[in-house]
């Protein structure tokens, strides 16, 4: 595992982190855990057309160059890596199926309680290259076989298709995606006493074109995302949530350095609009809003030792209703992977984002940071330490925060099987005196079967 970190592609901890909280509350592991895991593993792919407003565009155009890994590339010197899945050839595609089967025990306090989970996650990834066109398809779903109301058996599901066309020096990228996740129990817009957590479905499409112009590369991109909320039942009586459904349209213009320089500066601007199906909500508020953001950053690439992408921006969230407070502030996005030795990797993922005000709650600045360090202690064994922190800032100060520390170990006896085990302890704090501050401990074991 010296060349390929295989840490926990299906652990319960990372499965839970893969779906960001729609309600703005802290997740088990904050930050972008899938992106962090992908950075550590070096997993090939088109990488970066995802749901989530205009932020999806940034991943797709980080360097002005979309990186692909066509199937059939020559093996490394000395033969194929013994720990990398080989996949299954199917026409012009290579399929990479996998199945995660896990078990977890969770202790929480207060009130003292013990719970268990049996998560099962099937996933499939397919890559293909056809001349100047490359494609990647990925889909996964996570089920908890022990879930009982108000929790759902389906924890999360997502699918995406990314296409990249490179005619000469131009790059055109197109993506479609869909994702589903349950809402959080502390969602302020859910009625009290609900029978089962409803879910939110997001579908969308993104497109981008990158054109080199001398020393720079200019990218224009657009994203359209639609989110719909399922009805919630209280005592068996359905409560309509359709007034929460909305569509987001965002456009981004980005200028980045063009070439293989160690430092690649970039600047970008985004303008978007959020349209609700019901323009006037139950409380009489106008729900539509406009957002604008400017951002500047730099990419540092001295792989395999250090790669970083750090940027700072300023964002404005302007609701149409003058009774809802406008929100503006500094934003941040950063990822970094440092490997001082072939067997050691340290990854950082952090962000500061703004969540606009709604009739159900005021605007928030959400701070999320994750740090992960891992070491290959043998060819088949890797250990890791993980920490994360999240804080939700409102005008009056921090309204909620949470932190997690954990340790994991992975054993991969062959390219087909990965066995992982881990422990995590979490603290959760809320400024609302009616909401209890809690702590929880989790022990989990996951077996991954892959081809």
> What domains does the chain contain, in order, with CATH numbers?
12-74+89-450 (2.40.170)
Averages of pLDDT over runs of 10 residues in the chain (451 residues) are 34 30 30 35 30 37 33 46 87 95 94 92 96 96 89 91 94 97 79 84 97 94 96 85 93 89 93 94 86 97 95 96 88 97 97 82 89 96 97 89 97 96 96 88 97 92
| Predicted pLDDT at 39 | 36
| Predicted pLDDT at 359 | 61
- pTM exceeds cut of 0.95: no
| Cβ contact 209:60 at 8 Å | no
CB atoms within 10 A of CB 106: 18
> In angstroms, rounded to a whole number, what is the distance separating the alpha carbons of residues 358 and 274?
12
Q: How far is CA 154 from CA 148, 150, 194, 197, in A?
A: 11, 12, 17, 11
Residue written as tokens 């030792």? 305
Beta bridge pairs of residue 120: 101, 143
| Predicted pLDDT at 59 | 40
| Predicted pLDDT at 40 | 39
| Cβ contact 188:21 at 8 Å | no
| Cβ contact 298:266 at 8 Å | yes
| Predicted pLDDT at 211 | 95
- Residue 128 falls in which region: left (phi positive, over 0), alpha (psi -120 to 50) or beta: beta
| Predicted pLDDT at 183 | 85
> In angstroms, rounded to a whole number, what is the distance separating the alpha carbons of residues 41 and 416?
16
Q: Which residues of 5-24 are buried (b: 16+ CB within 10 A; e: fewer)?
A: bbbbbbbbbbbbbbbbbbbb
Between the two ends of the chain, the Cα-to-Cα distance in Å is 17
**Residue 12: phi, psi to the nearest 5?**
-60, -40
Alpha carbon 331 to chain centroid, angstroms: 17
> In angstroms, rounded to a whole number, what is the distance separating the alpha carbons of residues 64 and 210?
6
| Cβ contact 399:430 at 8 Å | yes
* Tokens read off for 349: 């993922």
């Amino acid at each position: 595992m010296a060349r390929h970190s295989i840490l926990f592609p299906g652990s319960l901890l990372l499965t839970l982190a893969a779906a960001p909280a729609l309600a703005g509350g802290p997740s088990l592991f904050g930050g972008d855990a899938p992106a962090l895991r992908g950075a550590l593993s070096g997993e090939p792919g088109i990488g970066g057309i995802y749901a989530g407003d205009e932020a999806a565009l940034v991943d797709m155009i980080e360097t002005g160059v979309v990186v692909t890994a066509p199937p059939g590339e020559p093996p490394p010197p000395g033969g194929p890596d013994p720990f990398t899945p080989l996949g299954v050839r199917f026409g012009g595609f290579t399929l990479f199926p996998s199945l995660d089967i896990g078990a977890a025990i969770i202790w929480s306090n207060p009130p003292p309680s013990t719970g268990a989970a049996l998560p099962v996650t099937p996933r499939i990834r397919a890559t293909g290259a056809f001349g100047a066109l490359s494609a990647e398809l990925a889909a996964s779903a996570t089920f908890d076989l022990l879930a009982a109301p108000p929790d759902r058996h389906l924890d999360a599901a997502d699918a995406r298709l990314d296409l990249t066309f490179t005619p000469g020096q131009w790059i055109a990228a197109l993506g479609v995606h869909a994702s589903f996740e349950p809402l959080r129990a502390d969602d302020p817009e859910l009625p009290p006493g609900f029978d089962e957590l409803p879910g939110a479905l997001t579908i969308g499409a993104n497109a981008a074109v990158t054109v080199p112009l001398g020393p720079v590369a200019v990218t224009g991109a657009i994203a359209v995302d639609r989110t719909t909320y399922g009805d919630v039942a209280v005592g068996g009586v359905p409560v309509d949530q359709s007034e929460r459904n909305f569509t987001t349209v965002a456009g981004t213009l980005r200028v980045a350095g063009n070439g293989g320089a160690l430092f690649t500066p970039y600047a970008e601007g985004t303008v978007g609009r959020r349209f609700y199906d019901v323009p006037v909500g139950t409380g009489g508020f106008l729900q539509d809003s406009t957002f604008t953001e400017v951002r500047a950053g730099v990419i540092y690439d001295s792989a395999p030792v250090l790669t970083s992408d750090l940027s700072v921006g300023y964002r404005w969230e302007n609701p149409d209703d003058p009774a809802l407070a406008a929100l503006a502030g500094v934003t941040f996005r950063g990822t970094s992977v440092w490997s001082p030795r072939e067997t050691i990797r340290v990854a950082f993922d952090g962000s500061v984002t703004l969540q606009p005000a709604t009739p159900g709650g005021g605007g928030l600045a959400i701070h999320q940071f994750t740090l992960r360090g891992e070491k290959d202690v043998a060819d088949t064994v890797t250990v890791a330490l993980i920490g994360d922190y999240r804080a939700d800032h409102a005008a009056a100060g921090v309204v909620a925060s949470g932190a997690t520390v954990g340790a994991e170990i992975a054993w991969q006896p062959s390219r087909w099987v990965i066995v992982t085990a881990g422990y995590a302890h979490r603290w959760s704090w809320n400024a609302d005196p009616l909401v209890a501050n809690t702590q929880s401990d989790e022990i989990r074991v996951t077996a991954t079967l892959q081809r």
